[in-house]
A and B are shown apart, each in its own frame.
Chain A
Amino acid sequence: MNRPTALATTSRMAVGCLLALSMAACNSFNTRPGDSGANCPLPEHQNLEVALEAAQESLQAGCAGEFDAYLDSLLTIAQGDPGPENRERFSEFLVWSTEQGLLSRLQAKALYNRYFSVKFVSMAGEYNNCALSCPRKHRLLSELETELADKEIGLMKVSGDQQGYYRADRLYQELELVLEATCTACSAAR
Chain B
Amino acid sequence: MNTDILPVSIHAKRPRIPRARAGLVLAYALLAVMHVPQDVLAATGPSIRLFPTTVLEDIRQTSQVAAAMESGLQDIIARLDQQLQLYRESRCEGNEEDSGCARLARQLGATYLEMLNAMGEQLPDMEQAVNSTQVSLEKRLRKELGQKMTPWGLQELLLGNGNGKSTATPRPSLRGRSGMRLSDRFRQYYQLVAQSGGNNGHSLAVIASDIYLDMQETAELIARTREEISRAALLEQLNQSFGVITPEMQQVVAGVKSILFGDPEAAAPVAGPPPGSEEQAYRSPLAM
Residues of A within 8 A of B (CB): 84-85, 87-88, 91, 94-95, 108-109, 112-113, 116-121, 123-130, 132-134, 140, 159, 161-164, 166-167, 170-171, 173-175, 177-186, 188-189
* A171 x B155 contact (CB < 8 A): yes
* B146 x A91 contact (CB < 8 A): no
Contacts A128-B150, A130-B147, A178-B205 supplied; 16 other A-B pairs, CB < 8 Å:
A84-B282, A88-B284, A119-B159, A123-B152, A128-B146, A128-B148, A129-B145, A130-B146, A161-B280, A167-B164, A174-B171, A175-B155, A178-B145, A178-B154, A178-B209, A182-B142
B208 proximity list for chain A (CB < 8 A) = 181
Question: Which of B148, B175, B276, B286 is A95 in contact with, Cβ under 8 Å?
Answer: B286
Closest to B154 in A: A129
For residue A139, give the distance in angstroms from its CB to the closest CB of chain B: 12
Q: How many residues of B contact A (CB 8 A)?
A: 46
For residue B121, give the distance in angstroms from its CB to the closest CB of chain A: 29
Closest to B274 in A: A163
Residues of B within 8 A of A (CB): 137-139, 141-142, 145-152, 154-156, 158-159, 164, 166, 171, 174-175, 177, 202, 205-206, 208-210, 212-213, 216, 272-274, 276-277, 279-280, 282, 284-288
A113 proximity list for chain B (CB < 8 A) = 286-288
B150 proximity list for chain A (CB < 8 A) = 125-129, 132
B139 proximity list for chain A (CB < 8 A) = 185
For residue B158, give the distance in angstroms from its CB to the closest CB of chain A: 5
* A175 x B212 contact (CB < 8 A): no
**How far does the alpha carbon of A181 sit from the alpha carbon of B138 in the complex, in Å?**
8
B279 proximity list for chain A (CB < 8 A) = 118, 161, 164
Question: Which of B142, B273, B280 is A166 in contact with, Cβ under 8 Å?
Answer: B273
Question: Which of B148, B159, B209 is A180 in contact with, Cβ under 8 Å?
Answer: B209
Residue from A118, A130, A134, A167 whose CB has the most chain B CB atoms within 10 Å:
A167
B288 proximity list for chain A (CB < 8 A) = 109, 113, 117, 119, 121
A123 proximity list for chain B (CB < 8 A) = 151-152, 154-155
Question: Which of A118, A180, A182 is B164 in contact with, Cβ under 8 Å?
Answer: A118
**How far does the alpha carbon of A188 sit from the alpha carbon of B232 in the complex, in Å?**
33
Closest to B273 in A: A166
* A95 x B142 contact (CB < 8 A): no
* B212 x A174 contact (CB < 8 A): no
* B174 x A117 contact (CB < 8 A): no
Given A119-B164, A174-B206, answer yes or no on A185-B212 (Cβ-Cβ < 8 Å): yes
* B141 x A185 contact (CB < 8 A): yes
